[in-house]
Structure 1
Amino acid sequence: MAEVLFYHLTESRLEEALPDLLERSLARGWRVVVQCVSEERRDALDHHLWTFRDDSFLPHGTDGQASPEHQPILITTSADEAANKPDVRFMVEGATPGDLSAYVRAIYMFDGHDSEQTDHARSRWRVEQAAGHQLTYWQQSEDRKWVKKR
């Protein structure tokens, strides 16, 4: 079973929080897939990861580009995309994955100011709990640090 984490964004946007979590995943030697709800969102995240900070580089590509299997971070819209043999799967802004049992870790990131994303996260909590995964809920503090709530 996978360790499933829910990251509740309350103080920053996805674009501000995601790169740090991706860097931490790569530092652990994990390969990553990021699942988005639309091609437009996928392409926007792809662009953002090239430009988010001058002193950092996150090697990545999208499922719409050549050789997705070689990408340490693969950004996709597919619920089952695993061409890069990822250890970790991020689902952002309401993306719904397929079976998570093959992953070391799965991470739902949702905007707490968006009621649809919050409702989706609650629904996915119940689904993942019923599947027997180990669940953890994290919320941002006012200083944008992650605080484990349960």
Structure 2
Amino acid sequence: MQVDFYHLTQLPIERALPRIAERVLAGGERLLIVAGDERQRAALDRLLWEYAPESFLPHACVGAGDDAMQPILIAPDVNAANAARHVALVDGEWRDEALTFERAFHFFDEDRIGDARAAWKALAGRDGVERRYWKQNEAGRWEQAA
């Protein structure tokens, strides 16, 4: 299982998440997006419809339709009703339930850096967990730092 830590320093989640979602779908996979805050989930729902005119990211919020059919499902917790094997934790909060997925994307900003460091350290000793740390350079491009 792979956990990618994405430290948001230049670009907000609204710019980073759609690109990750596009890559997951292009690989034939499904994605679960987790945000505890209802307002953030509603904003992400709008974002995935509107972020780029040439793009289409089929998705829904939990309970808005047939959750099992959704390529991308936005949820308040780590429950892959859409059978996703990839999870994006977008509210800065690490959840150990993400370790049941093939790949987890943990997004955090400066406000949650302490929590992210604690999660990084806690995962260091776990068998079968590969950790990668991505940071943004001044141009906003992702660079693997660890």
TM category, shorter: over 0.9
In 1, distance between residues paired with 2:62 and 2:123? 25
Q: Which amino acid aligns with 2:7?
A: H
- 1:106 pairs with 104, 107, 126, which one? 104
Segments of 4+ in structure 1 off by > 3 A?
Answer: none
1:30 counterpart = 2:29: yes
Deviations 1:69-115 (Å, cap 9, x if unpaired)? 1110101111x311111110110122332433431110101113x2x
State the superposition RMSD in angstroms: 1.3
Deviations 1:116-148 (Å, cap 9, x if unpaired)? x11111121122223331100000111111100
SS in 1 for 2:114: helix
SS in 2 for 1:74: strand
Contact 2:94 2:106 in 1 (8 A): no
1:137 counterpart = 2:137: no
Contact 1:37 1:94 in 2 (8 A): no
In 2, distance between residues paired with 1:96 and 1:144? 23
Following superposition, the deviation at residue 25 of structure 1 comes to 0.8
In 2, distance between residues paired with 1:99 and 1:14? 21
Contact 2:35 2:76 in 1 (8 A): yes
Q: Which amino acid aligns with 1:130?
A: G
Structure 2: gaps of 5 or more residues: none
1:124 counterpart = 2:119: yes
Following superposition, the deviation at residue 34 of structure 1 comes to 0.6
In 1, distance between residues paired with 2:56 and 2:18? 10
TM-score, normalising length: structure 2: 0.93
Q: Which residue of the partner structure matches residue 84 of structure 1? A: 82
SS in 1 for 2:16: helix
TM-score, normalising length: structure 1: 0.90
Following superposition, the deviation at residue 17 of structure 1 comes to 0.9
1:94 counterpart = 2:89: no
Structure 1: gaps of 5 or more residues: none
Q: Which amino acid aligns with 1:131?
A: R
